[in-house]
Amino acid sequence: MSNQIKLPDAQGNVVNYRLVGSTLVKPKAGVGFNRIAYSAAHVVSDPKASIDPWLDCAIDWDATIAFRERLWSLGLGVAEAMDTAQRGMGMDWPTSLELIKRSIAASKRHPGAVLASGCGTDHLDIDSVRSVDDVIKGYDQQMEAIEKLGGKLIVMASRALVRVAKGPSDYERVYDHILTQAKEPVILHWLGDMFDPALTGYWGSGNPDDATKTALGIIAAHASKVDGVKISLLDKEKEIAMRRGLPAKGGLDGHGVRMYTGDDFNYAELIAGDEVGAAQVNRQSDALLGIFDAIAPAASAALGELAQGNLEKFHAILAPTVPLSRHIFRAPTRFYKAGVVFMAWLGGHQSHFTMVGGQQSTRSLMHFVELFKLADQAHLLEQPDVAIHRMKTLLSIHGVEG
């Protein structure tokens, strides 16, 4: 098949585009990482299910688990049932728990597989939540269910807590309970309001610096129960400042509380780290990223180079992925999941481009046209013939023939 495709441009013309990606990014076999790297994995919907897509959730379990097995084969961990999986944005708690159960079972078939699962309060009827005690009970229910399956917890931010909390002390009370009850160290997840407007003012303040102080205080008080914290604020300076304030003792095996970057704009430099900090964990970020779902081969290859001390190669591999990531996560950022699933479809990892809740419609055709180009330029079109055929299919659906 030709490596050319006709694509619409900003002026409404249809012009030739020739693929420029020359060398597919391929990780080196058998190379370990010196960072913990979770990919927040998406779910594959079942387009053949006879449901009302805006109201009901149907998952293609085989394709969904196969995608997680691919991530593990690349050396990446899986952050399960997070916002990338449309948690609280189309995927309900019963379906999320089934996903967690199936992923835990699948991980046992892959020696060394790293898996952690989202724990929140999204099963609560938010209009019926009246108190902080209601939020605590909600967290308890999900914690118990996940820990019963043997899962590691990622404690997600709670919309219900934002609704009822009067200030930082309410957050301190909730997280004191969670961390006291947790059987093993957890990852705390601070999702910014650009990802979810309902989380505006998390930690009891609209000022990010004050919110950070509250979060750091909670972590310091329970350092032995906090593996790390993931922040998704898309602000590298705020992440670095918080990273330097994390306890140098505690976390997993007493090696310090980790910063898991959730910055899909600046992940390369944050993972590479710097020389400022009280301990190694304060000088670098590990990763828990939605973009790693879309750029998994590049992420794996780059992390392998970093582990071998090849910093220039690490940056050279990731640099072309940054424009792609910034495009996927552009405002309104909460619609980024459409770009992640589009990349999986282009790459041949699922047979269709439909999403839970019909969320594929949250981005325009021109958004996907630009994403196709950026994926090519980042050397991430794993099967160019498949990618071109599928892009032509999408164009045709939108009335663009070429």
Q: What is the pLDDT of residue 31?
A: 77
Distance CA 62, CA 52 (A): 21
pLDDT mean over 170-196: 97
Confidence at 1, pLDDT banded by 50, 70, 90: low
Assigned superfamily of 33-322: Aldolase class I (3.20.20.70)
Supply the pLDDT for residue 275: 82
What are the pLDDT digits (tens) for 250-274? 888 888 999 999 999 999 999 999 9
Output the CA torsion 255→256→262→266 (10° steps): -90
Rounded mean pLDDT, 181-210? 96
Which residues are within 8 A (CB) of 76 and not within 5 positions of it... i.e. 6 or more apart? 37, 38, 39, 114, 292, 296, 299, 300
- Which residue has tokens 């724990």? 119
Domain boundaries, the chain: 33-322
Give the pLDDT confidence of 4-43 residue by residue, as tens digits. 999 999 888 999 999 997 677 788 777 789 999 999 999 9
- Whether 278 shows a pLDDT value over 80: the answer reads no
Q: What's the whole-number average pLDDT of the chain?
A: 95
* Distance separating alpha carbons of residues 310 and 313, to the nearest angstrom: 5
In DSSP terms, which residues pair with 14 in a beta bridge? 8
The overall longest dimension of the chain from CA atoms, in Å, is 62
- Looking at residue 255, what is its pLDDT? 83
Q: What is the mean pLDDT of residues 157-180?
A: 98
How much is the average pLDDT of 221-241?
Answer: 96
Evaluate if residue 402 carries a pLDDT over 70. Answer: no
8-state DSSP, 28 = P
Which H helix or E strand runs over 258?
Answer: strand 258-261
